[in-house]
């Protein structure tokens, strides 16, 4: 099975907020790749500038082997799901507040990256999200 590499998606959250990211894992023919076709799936989340890992998400197993979805907030569905607004997806990540910190207080917006790496028996699909996190600190109360 071959995978179609998606374009980098960009989302925005406020500091310390929870949120939701959805996406679709497709093969080269545009067919949805179900969780059962994957042998591994990991998530790494880091600050784009400092390369610091965020919320201990360093190649975290998100397929569910030994870590239920409740532990990491990621669900990979067997079939395509439809959101209330009509968007379709088979990957859903419920971010927790600890996934959206500000690591460098002097930044008004901090750029984080989330890399999902999906592996089948023959291929690897990296799916990357850029996350802009708005700093809610008041001016004058900054530290570096």
CATH top-level class of 9-99+109-134: mainly beta
Domain spans of the chain, in order of start? 9-99+109-134
Give which of 86, 93, 35, 34 is closest to 64, Cα–Cα: 35
DSSP 8-state symbol, 39: S
pLDDT for position 67? 53
Q: Which has more pLDDT, 135 or 123?
A: 135
Q: Model confidence over 7-34: pLDDT tens digits?
A: 568 999 999 999 999 999 876 666 788 8
In this prediction, residues 61-86 reach a mean pLDDT of: 82
Q: Model confidence over 103-134: pLDDT tens digits?
A: 999 999 999 999 999 987 777 888 899 999 99
Asked if the model's pLDDT at residue 47 lies above 70, the reply is yes
Query: Cα separation of 15 and 109, whole Å?
Result: 9
In this prediction, residues 55-81 reach a mean pLDDT of: 83
């Amino acid at each position: 099975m071959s995978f179609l590499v998606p374009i980098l998606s960009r989302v925005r959250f406020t500091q310390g907020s929870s949120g939701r990211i959805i996406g679709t894992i497709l093969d080269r023919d545009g067919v949805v790749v179900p969780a059962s076709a994957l042998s591994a799936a990991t998530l790494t989340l880091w600050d784009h500038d400092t390369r610091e890992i965020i919320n201990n998400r360093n190649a975290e197993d998100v397929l569910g082997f030994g870590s239920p979805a409740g532990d990491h907030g990621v669900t990979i569905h067997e079939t395509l799901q439809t959101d209330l607004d009509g968007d379709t997806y088979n990957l859903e990540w419920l971010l927790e507040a600890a996934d959206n910190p500000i690591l460098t207080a002097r930044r008004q917006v901090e750029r984080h990256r989330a890399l999902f790496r999906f592996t089948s028996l023959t291929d690897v699909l990296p799916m990357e999200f850029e996350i802009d996190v708005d700093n809610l600190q008041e001016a004058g109360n900054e530290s570096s």
